[in-house]
A and B are shown apart, each in its own frame.
Chain A
Amino acid sequence: MSDINELYQQVILDHNKNPRNFGELNDATNVAGGHNPLCGDHIDVYARVEGGIIKEIKFKGAGCAISKASASIMTTLVIGKTISQTKKLFDDFIHIVTTDINSKCDTLELGKLAVFCGVREFPARVKCASLAWHTMMKAIQKSDSDNRKISTEDLVAAS
């Protein structure tokens, strides 16, 4: 049961029950929607970006404990960060959940992201954990395209 306890840590269970920054943001400058058609998870991310800094971020949606907790923790980590700092966090996060299961999880180095180390043991749950992060990146990245919807099935080739 050690692996399963690693996945469902108290922090994850807490954020699942009491998600932070949950809801819509009326004065959002950047919005994106994310969807996993295989399991039905969907999420909307609202951000207010000013001067290249994420001033405020919220999310709304339905999904499993892993996806909801991941979205909640993600919002707490990127508030006040610049776009490039957020990109770095995103890359670190994706690395943590997809890296080799035998590689060490350095909690000191990873800080709050370390809570996601358990996800790599459950390949079927990686998409649950990463949906919010991909959607957030889609929202904050400047693009001429109006397509602000993202699907986990489009990410296979990209990731």
Chain B
Amino acid sequence: MIKSVSFEKTIFNDIPQKFEAGTTNISGAIGLAKAIEFIRSVGFENIAAHEAKLLTYATEVLSTVKDLRIIGTAQHKSAVLSFVLDCAHPHDVGTLLDTEGVAVRTGQHCTEPLMRRFGIPAATRASFAIYNTFEEIDVLHKSLLKVVKLFS
């Protein structure tokens, strides 16, 4: 923003207004405040507990899938589950899961050296959050069985 503009001289406003041209991101700021309000109303501990339960359940269920290898097994890790299947490349897995309504991240996850460390070309990653349910993990499981069937 400016204080005044003429052909002779432009006087910019003070910092921070100087760097905030146009309408500020009002809706973004309100949205962020609402999001913080929501997270606080649920409670960090409750969120962490829900995510931990989902991760434990998903790890149990997916471990039963034939030739599925879980990548990253540190204790106390975030609620993410990365895996590879012997029979299908992660991109094929991702496309097929997508058609079943399951969204996952596939590829090298911006960690090419780590992929080399594990000796894999890429991986599929499911991540769990406060809004995910146990039923959704069952859908993921069933969809993975379909993938295995198609490719073996």
- Please give the number of chain B residues whose Cβ is less than 8 angstroms from any Cβ of chain A in the complex: 17
Interface presence of A13 (CB below 8 A): yes
Q: How far is the CB of B52 from chain A (nearest CB, A)?
A: 31
B99/A3 in contact, CB under 8 A? yes
- Residues of chain B within 8 A (CB-CB) of A125 are 91, 95
Interface presence of A158 (CB below 8 A): no
B121/A62 in contact, CB under 8 A? yes
Given A8-B150, A13-B151, A38-B107, also A63-B95 (CB < 8 A): no
Q: How far is the CB of B88 from chain A (nearest CB, A)?
A: 7
Q: Which residue of A lies closest to B96 (CB)?
A: A4
Q: Which residue of B lies closest to A127 (CB)?
A: B91
Which residue in A1, A16, A128 is a CB contact (below 8 Å) of B99? A1
B151/A65 in contact, CB under 8 A? yes
Interface of B is mostly: helix
Given A13-B151, A40-B107, also A7-B95 (CB < 8 A): yes
Interface presence of B142 (CB below 8 A): no
Interface presence of B89 (CB below 8 A): yes
Bound-state Cα–Cα, A3 to B150, Å: 15
Which residues of A in the span 43-99 have a Cβ within 8 Å of any Cβ on B? 62-66
Interface presence of B136 (CB below 8 A): no
- Residues of chain B within 8 A (CB-CB) of A41 are 121
Interface presence of A156 (CB below 8 A): no
Q: Which residue of B lies closest to A61 (CB)?
A: B121
B99/A39 in contact, CB under 8 A? no
Which residues of B in the span 132-150 have a Cβ within 8 Å of any Cβ on A? 150
- Residues of chain A within 8 A (CB-CB) of B151 are 13, 16, 65
Which residues of B in the span 71-118 have a Cβ within 8 Å of any Cβ on A? 88-92, 95-96, 99, 106-108, 112, 115
A40/B121 in contact, CB under 8 A? yes
Interface presence of A157 (CB below 8 A): no
Interface presence of A124 (CB below 8 A): yes
Binding site for A on B (CB under 8 A): 88-92, 95-96, 99, 106-108, 112, 115, 121-122, 150-151
Nearest 5 CB-CB pairings of A with B: A64-B89, A64-B91, A4-B99, A65-B92, A40-B108
Binding site for B on A (CB under 8 A): 1, 3-4, 7-8, 13, 16, 38-41, 62-66, 122, 124-125, 128
